[in-house]
Amino acid sequence: MDTFVQQLINGLTIGSIYALIALGYTMVYGILRLINFAHGDIYMVGAYAGFMIALSLGFADNPSAMGFVVTLVGSMIIAAAIGMAIERFAYRPVRKYSKMTTLITAIGMSLLIEYLFVFFFSGTPRSFPQLLPNENITLFGNATISTSQILIFVVSIALMMVLQYIIFKTKIGKAMRAVSFNITSAKLMGINTDFVIAFTFALGSALAAAGGVLTAQYNPKIEPLMGIMTGLKAFVAAVLGGIGNIPGAVLGGLLIGAAETLVVGYGSSIGIPSTYRDAVAFAILILVLLIRPAGLLGSNVQEKV
Amino acid sequence: MSSLLKSIGIGAVVIAVLYLVNQMMSATGFFGVGIDDYQARLLVFIGINIILATSLNLINGFTGQFSIGHAGFMAVGAYSSAYFTVTYGRSLEATFAGLGETVASSIVLLIAILIGALVAAVAGLIVGIPSLRLKGDYLAIVTLGFAEIIRIVILNIDAVGGATGYQVPGYANFLWIGIFAVITVVVIHNIVKSDAGRALVSIREDELAAEAMGVNTTRYKVTSFVIGSSFAGVAGVLFAHYNKFLSTNDFQFIKSFEIIIMIVIGGMGSMTGAILGAIVVTLLPELLRQLPDLQVGATTFKFADLRLVIFALILILTMILRPQGILGTAEIGSFLKRFRRADKPTGGLAP
């Protein structure tokens, strides 16, 4: 029982990160019907941006809550700017072409970011500085939760609430919902769709960057290719929840995270070795697409962004 | 009858040229003319990449089904055939020893290719039947997912080396790789020019309209996927038996993306384009390697590392400026023809 609780805590920790990234996938897909392959790499960019901020401002030497907040917000702003730049210079020019063209552009963008980082930072993993003191808290029995895990839960829930507020209570959120509902009509109603799309990319990228910094606090090894697998799993999470659906992305993320750690923890007893960890998400993806392509929450919920 | 003779003649010339190049690669060279190991390796990889690019082109370029998991089928072919040659290669060679060493090893290689192609085709069928119900980007993601599952499954089979890699006997040489590259190009060219090829292109252009015209779209899509996969398997077999070592790292996403880059650069739906793309993608990294390293302070920047950055830029710029690829669906030959026609005097109509 203790180990089960432990696995679940670990799974939900990773799941929260997947959920943060999945939100970006689902928002962009909701608006442009584009799988933004480069989104996983924005998560990596966020981690590196945080790394650079923490090193250059000296937060690495004396851990403080202030240092963490500055690093988190700084990397979110940098990632948002990069996300908007990608949209402006790579995706906007191909928006008028076929779906395949935009997908290939997105694959190209993903490769470009990854290997630019390999070129400038080298492929060797870096160690992300500990910005807040990390302690293990014993819950009951042998199950423990670390402060960095609590941080992940608290920050990701807070960010999701902010996102919920932006989408449902602000003018730009209303515009986002309108564009995702029907881009042509939205344009006819006088909505500046280009701005709304850019804003969506900024929002999604900021969330992914937050995921990057939070992961780096939990598991301090960062490397330029870390976004590939995490990004793909987050995409699977978005599809599982119903792509284009915001609560679905969160649900999908948590489910994928939990499924993955449970396979690592208990898979060997039912004949699935723990090395199949990375295959779990893809198996789930294939099953979802074959059985219920709309995803878990896909068809029931009307509001899509 | 004369066209058959012509085909046989062309085939003989092609084999003779490949044989000559193959002889040049040997230690002694061909009458003193030699190709060094480095250049030989490049030629071999151009051959393997031509097989991969043209076979993926059948699926992506001609049928319009966007698969980004080609490396998975290459892995299936490579590992299944390698398991065969490692287990039975020696004893089979001994059985055919009476025919001479070269013939015996060629027979083993041909059986290995047959096995690799068949197993990859079966894998293509298993993946294709459910996946091809999906369209566009969903199909892309599912093929990517299947390729990754294939890789992880192979990684967990200890009989083929698992994570430590797999030693494979080196039966393949440039001659065989060249021959199979030519066979692949000819077979896929003939498929595309046949009635079935017209059906495939009609699916690419408009699936709904194709179905309305009586084309059994599901059957054709799966068939093209299976044929493409089996040729990827052949490429895998040749790669395994030339490289003499297999690691699942050779079959990651990046390999599938590399094959996509080949056909995108050349133009999806162009045979010569795919061949051109395969050559460019093989040679460009080697050209970059010639550039000197850049020293800035304590860090060294290696231009060889820029290979994928440049591919990515080419990919993005091609999509923005020329989304149909450099050649589009046209062939190099058709440009030449147009050029020649423009040169000729147009007869009495000219003023």
Q: Please tell me whether residue B338 adopts helix, strand or coil conformation.
A: helix
Query: Quick one: which of B209, B214, B192 has its CA closest to B201?
Result: B192
Q: Please tell me whether residue B239 adopts helix, strand or coil conformation.
A: helix
pTM equals: 0.87
Instruction: Name the percent of chain A lying above pLDDT 70.
Output: 97
Instruction: Decide if B148 and A282 are in contact by the 8 Å CB cutoff.
Output: yes
Residue A95, class by beta-carbon neighbours within 10 Å (0-12 exposed, 13-18 middle, 19+ buried)? middle
Measured between alpha carbons, how far is A234 from A210 in angstroms, rounded to an integer? 14
Mean pLDDT of chain B: 86
The CA distances from residue A193 to A28, A31, A175, A184, B48, in Å, are: 13, 10, 8, 9, 46
Interface residues of chain A, partner chain B, Cβ below 8 Å: 34-35, 90, 93-94, 97-105, 107-112, 114-116, 118-120, 122, 228, 232, 235-236, 239, 273, 275-276, 278-279, 282-283, 285-286, 289-290, 293
Q: Is the pLDDT of residue B148 over 80?
A: yes
Instruction: Decide if A107 and B257 are in contact by the 8 Å CB cutoff.
Output: yes
**Helix, strand counts (H, E) of chain B:** 13, 4
Q: Is the pLDDT of residue A120 over 90?
A: no
Of A109, A120, A278, the CB nearest to B316: A109
* pLDDT interval class at B310 (50, 70, 90): confident
Q: Which residues of B touch A114 (CB under 8 A)?
A: 308
Model confidence pLDDT, tens digit, residues A90-109: 999 998 888 888 888 999 99
Measured between alpha carbons, how far is B263 from B60 in angstroms, rounded to an integer? 9
For every residue of B35-49, DSSP letters joined together read --HHHHHHHHHHHHH
Of A107, A116, A232, the CB nearest to B260: A107
* pLDDT interval class at B343 (50, 70, 90): low
Q: Which residues of B touch A34 (CB under 8 A)?
A: 137
Contact with chain A for residue B188, Cβ under 8 A: no
* pLDDT interval class at A273 (50, 70, 90): confident
Measured between alpha carbons, how far is A175 from A181 in angstroms, rounded to an integer? 10
Model confidence pLDDT, tens digit, residues A191-220: 999 999 999 999 999 999 999 999 998 888
Measured between alpha carbons, how far is A214 from B329 in angstroms, rounded to an integer? 47
Residues 6+ apart with CB under 8 A from B99: B107
Tokens of B222: 């799966």
| One-letter-per-residue 3-state SS of chain A | CHHHHHHHHHHHHHHHHHHHHHHHHHHHHHHHCCCCCCHHHHHHHHHHHHHHHHHHCCCCCCCCHHHHHHHHHHHHHHHHHHHHHHHHHHHHHHCCCCHHHHHHHHHHHHHHHHHHHHHHHCCCCEECCCCCCCCEEEEECCEEEEHHHHHHHHHHHHHHHHHHHHHHHCHHHHHHHHHHHCHHHHHHCCCCHHHHHHHHHHHHHHHHHHHHHHHHHHCCEECCCHHHHHHHHHHHHHHHHCCCCHHHHHHHHHHHHHHHHHHHHHHHHHCCCHHHHHHHHHHHHHHHHHHCCCCCCCCCCCCCC
Mean pLDDT, residues A229-235 taken together? 92
Helical (H) or strand (E) element with B116 = helix B101-131
CA closest to B256 among chain A residues: A107
Model confidence pLDDT, tens digit, residues A42-81: 999 999 999 999 998 888 777 788 889 999 999 999 999 9
Contact with chain A for residue B126, Cβ under 8 A: no
Mean pLDDT, residues B73-92 taken together? 93
Model confidence pLDDT, tens digit, residues A10-23: 999 999 999 999 99
Measured between alpha carbons, how far is B67 from B259 in angstroms, rounded to an integer? 11
Specify the higher pLDDT residue, A170 or B284.
A170
Region for A125 from its dihedrals, namely left if φ exceeds 0, alpha if ψ lies in -120 to 50, beta otherwise:
beta
ipTM over 0.90: no
CA closest to B308 among chain A residues: A115
